[in-house]
Amino acid sequence: MVSAVRTWVLGVCVMLAMLAASSVDARERKVLVMGDSLSVAHGLRPEQGWVALADAKSARYAFHNASISGETSAGGRSRIDVELARVRPDIVIIELGANDGLRGLPLAQLDANLGRMITASRKAGAQVLLVGMQLPPNYGAYARDFQRTFVLVSQRFRTGLIPHFLAPLGTQRSWFQADNLHPTAAAQPLLAEEVLRALDAL
């Protein structure tokens, strides 16, 4: 009789654990986006940007966009603690560094700023997806080292990584606005899909 009761109790415990796990998997995960103009939907209406599109498309993630146009990695580093406390995210997307590269800022500084943001996010209990960038070839060796910085930081901190955010757009001119830097509204769904795939991979 005692053995039967223990078996029943064990079965109930297993069922409760399975239900709890299922509930966690089913709930929306809060995603904090720390980005620049690429995540602000520069030149577009906010609802046309990849963040809004990803938020509308997925029932698994609730996006909180804390991106600022023109933001550098130093700016993100200065704001990360406040945003973590405000949103209390499950996942942090760091899409910063493009403005560092375009200004030719020291890559050691980019490395340190990204590392600080990742460390803060981890301490707050969040996973991290790092979004890498690529500079035009006329930046020479700096462009190569710039893109490599994202890979090395991701490897060191074992984060999720999108090596080159705009890779799905290739060099097709029609995907970009007149400045040849910011994606058009038609290109935004491709970026949203890329991010959602990367989040699922986490």
The burial of 194, by beta-carbon neighbours within 10 Å (0-12 exposed, 13-18 middle, 19 or more buried), is given as buried
Active-site residue among 55, 121, 179, 200?
179
Q: At what angle do helices 73-87 and 107-123 cross, to 10 degrees?
A: 10
Catalytic pick among 23, 36, 37, 81: 37
**What's the CA gap between 109 and 92, in Å, rounded?**
20
User: b or e along 19-42 (b: 16 or more beta carbons within 10 Å of the residue's beta carbon)?
Assistant: eeeeeeeeeebbbbbbbbbbbbbb
Q: Which of 36, 55, 58, 182 is catalytic?
A: 182
CA neighbor of 159 nearest in space, from 117, 120, 128, 184: 128
| Catalytic site includes residue 37 | yes
| Gap between the Cα atoms of 4 and 191, Å rounded | 55
Catalytic residue set: 37, 179, 182
